[in-house]
Structure 1
Amino acid sequence: MTAAELKKIADKIAKCLALAASDNPAEAEAAKRQADALMKKYNLTSGDVAAAAVHEETSDTKSVHRPPVYLSQLAGVIADAFGCAAVNSIGINNAFFKRNTVIRFMGVGIKPELAAYTFDVLSRTLKRDRTKYAESLRKNLKRATKIRRADLFCQAWVTGIARQVEEFAGTEQERAAIAAYKQATFGDRLKSDDRSGASSKHGHDWKAQAAGLDAAKDVSLHKPVQAKRGALLGVGH
């Protein structure tokens, strides 16, 4: 059975299960019987049905292999905000035949598209702000110190964004569907990213964190999200 065929059948079963919650006992019982019959016929579980409602949207991190910790943190913040799951996955950049890491946002409805679009916008802004901050550091600083402070800046920047984000209404049913989808897609192969990121070592490192938090204050999450949502829903067309 192809993925498209599975989704079509799962959608039909999902509609039957929704009708099974009807206040009309006869209608509810008939819908429940039909859902059970379809699941038995196609050897599907309730988890399979739930997982079929989940889809993905990807964002290229432009990073070879694992992205910097702060980009993984940003992906996690955005995924939580949109009721999605985010997984790092190695992809192929066909233009240059390099393997880049992509973020796979998994969720229901338009949420994965919103999450991926938001990540694309904010990751570009973060990289721009990182470059600007790095250029402001003293020229005679050691390279390792410059990298650490730039990383601390980025991590604080992400913390600042997290404070602005209001979580969307992700239901328990959606979380269960995403969990079922991840299990069906990856099984036990997913590994946690346990990297802790940069940490302060010297007295002036706090300035990098303060600068990151301050820079995040000027970043608007809501405007790009509203614009993308309108486009996905066909507003104004």
Structure 2
Amino acid sequence: MNKQAVIEKIKKCLALSKSANQHEAAAALRQAMAFMQKYKIDANDPELLGIAEASILGSGSQKPTVFEAVLANSIAKMMGCKAILSGDIKITKDLHFKKVASWTFIGFDPAPEIASYAFDVLYRQLKKARSVFISENLKRVQIKANKVKRADLFCEGWVLEATKLVSELNPNKDEMDQIQAYVQQKHNVRNSEPTDRNKKTNTNTDRYHNDLHAGRQAGKNAKLNNAMNGGTPLTKLGVST
């Protein structure tokens, strides 16, 4: 019997051990402990605890922008997860191999799946809002680098508004410690600073504040489809559902 099959049997026994029937509960608990002892499964094994992963592609960059990183980490915090970048190989249309990075949300099931869904929905909306901002507000900007920087500022404002309530949340410390232990055990995470194309931009100009403000105004229209979770955890983002 492989480990995953054993884990599933132990989970079922542990679920039955919460039965109101004392005899059934005791028998199920004994069975769970017997499985753990026989197959040398630790009670703190991450898989037994219910820690899961779900990945979603953002920009694909191995060094994403500040606003993309903030969006991913805000959603992770909202769902009591941890977000990391995971490398992957994709085959392009012309049949070449390309290394890309996906966001992997790690936490207690089913939180990662919901987090990846939320990121996908909001990131798509953000890209659309960025395109509209560029076409309507940056038509006269001739220098491509300046256009990109200003669009980035708009996106930063959008994300700040869409995730404004996340800073007030306090994830369960014990669960986050277990998730962190899982990450250290299963993943080789490299810490790197996100790309900030406005690092040297003068923050005291009207243009800077106007672009950021435009993003915040557009971010108020961010929406999430609540079909996956009945509209509860996702409302913590502070966006419409």
**Shared fold by TM > 0.5?**
yes
SS in 2 for 1:45: coil
Q: Unpaired runs of 5+ in structure 2?
A: 231-241
Q: 1:167 to 1:26 in 2, by over 3 A?
A: farther
RMSD (Å), alpha carbons: 3.4
SS in 2 for 1:46: coil
Range with greater deviation from structure 2 (165-174 or 92-101)? 165-174
The one-character-per-residue Cα deviations of 1:91-126 (angstroms, maximum 9, x if unpaired) are: 122344322211112222332221111111111111
Range with greater deviation from structure 2 (189-198 or 23-32)? 23-32
Which amino acid is the alignment partner of residue 189 of structure 2? L
**Aligned partners of 1:130, 1:167: CA distance in 2, in Å?**
27
**Aligned partners of 1:179, 1:10: CA distance in 2, in Å?**
21
How many residues align? The count is 222
In the TM superposition, residue 174 of structure 1 has moved relative to its aligned partner by 4.0
Range with greater deviation from structure 2 (38-47 or 161-170)? 161-170
The one-character-per-residue Cα deviations of 1:59-93 (angstroms, maximum 9, x if unpaired) are: 11242433322112111111111222211112122
Aligned to 1:235: none
Which amino acid is the alignment partner of residue 82 of structure 1? M
Counterpart contact for 1:79–1:105, Cα < 8 Å = yes
Percent sequence identity is 34
Q: 1:49 to 1:18 in 2, by over 3 A?
A: farther
Aligned to 2:57: 60
**Mapping 1:117-196, distance limit 5 Å:** 117-135=117-135, 136-137=137-138, 139-140=140-141, 142-163=143-164, 171=172, 174-186=175-187, 189-195=188-194
Q: 1:46 to 1:229 in 2, by over 3 A?
A: same
**Aligned partners of 2:12, 2:212: CA distance in 1, in Å?**
50
Counterpart contact for 1:79–1:86, Cα < 8 Å = yes
Counterpart contact for 1:82–1:168, Cα < 8 Å = no
Q: 1:93 to 1:20 in 2, by over 3 A?
A: same
Q: 1:33 to 1:84 in 2, by over 3 A?
A: same
Counterpart contact for 1:65–1:101, Cα < 8 Å = yes
Is 1:44 the counterpart of 2:45? The answer is no
**Aligned partners of 1:49, 1:91: CA distance in 2, in Å?**
23
Is 1:108 the counterpart of 2:111? The answer is no
The one-character-per-residue Cα deviations of 1:180-218 (angstroms, maximum 9, x if unpaired) are: 4313311xx212233373344151211111111111001
Q: What TM-score results when the alignment is normalised by the length of structure 1?
A: 0.75
Aligned to 2:216: 213
**Aligned partners of 1:95, 1:43: CA distance in 2, in Å?**
43
Counterpart contact for 2:63–2:192, Cα < 8 Å = no
Is 1:71 the counterpart of 2:68? The answer is yes
Q: 1:163 to 1:62 in 2, by over 3 A?
A: closer
